Amino acid sequence: MKNNNVTLKYIAQTLDVSVTTVSRVLNGLGEQFRISAQTIELILATADKLNYRSNNIAKGLRLKKSSTIGLIVPDITNSWFAQLALEIEKEARKHHYNIFLCNSNDDLKIEKNVLLYSKAGW
């Protein structure tokens, strides 16, 4: 299986455990749900070996939270705004957030439309 196609279900089937068990372990809840240290270690090692990466889109749909921050700048060609966007993105990544960047070209209509669409669940 390709690394980018590794799912919780695939890991669960590989180890003959439930998808719920795999999910709890990968979300750091193994001990809380009294999953044995041996099983936790096995799941983590398997996920690492298979290069498992969580699907942030699926996670966002489930949690109804996208972990995305919208950033509107009036002129990305202005070095001050470009540097500001870069620093915001760096800090957001530290906290596992993504940045959605909009360059409004100093157009208030564009800024309002972007805000309107984002509130509508764009």
Domain boundaries, the chain: 3-54, 62-119
pTM higher than 0.85 = no
Confidence tier at 112 by pLDDT (50, 70, 90): very high
Q: What is the pLDDT of residues 68-101, one digit of tens each?
A: 899 999 999 999 999 999 999 999 999 989 999 9
Distance (Å, rounded) from C-alpha 8 to C-alpha 23? 7
Q: What is the pLDDT of residues 26-39, one digit of tens each?
A: 999 999 999 999 99
Phi, psi angle pair for 99, to nearest 5°: -110, 130
Residue 102 β-bridge partners:
72
Q: Which CATH architecture has domain 62-119?
A: 3-Layer(aba) Sandwich (3.40)
Q: What percent of the chain has pLDDT over 90?
A: 73
**What was the pLDDT predicted at 3?**
47
Whether the pLDDT of residue 122 is over 60: the answer is no
**Which CATH number does 3-54 carry?**
1.10.260.40
Q: What is the pLDDT of residues 4-59, one digit of tens each?
A: 679 999 999 999 999 999 999 999 999 999 999 999 999 999 999 999 988 877 78
Give residue for tokens 């999910």. Answer: 23
Reduced to 3 states (helix: H, G, I; strand: E, B; else coil), residue 98 is strand
Q: State how far the alpha carbon of 92 is from the alpha carbons of 31, 64, 71, 75, in Å.
A: 29, 19, 11, 20
Q: Report the pLDDT averaged over residues 61-69.
A: 85
Answer whether 3-54 and 62-119 agree in fold: no
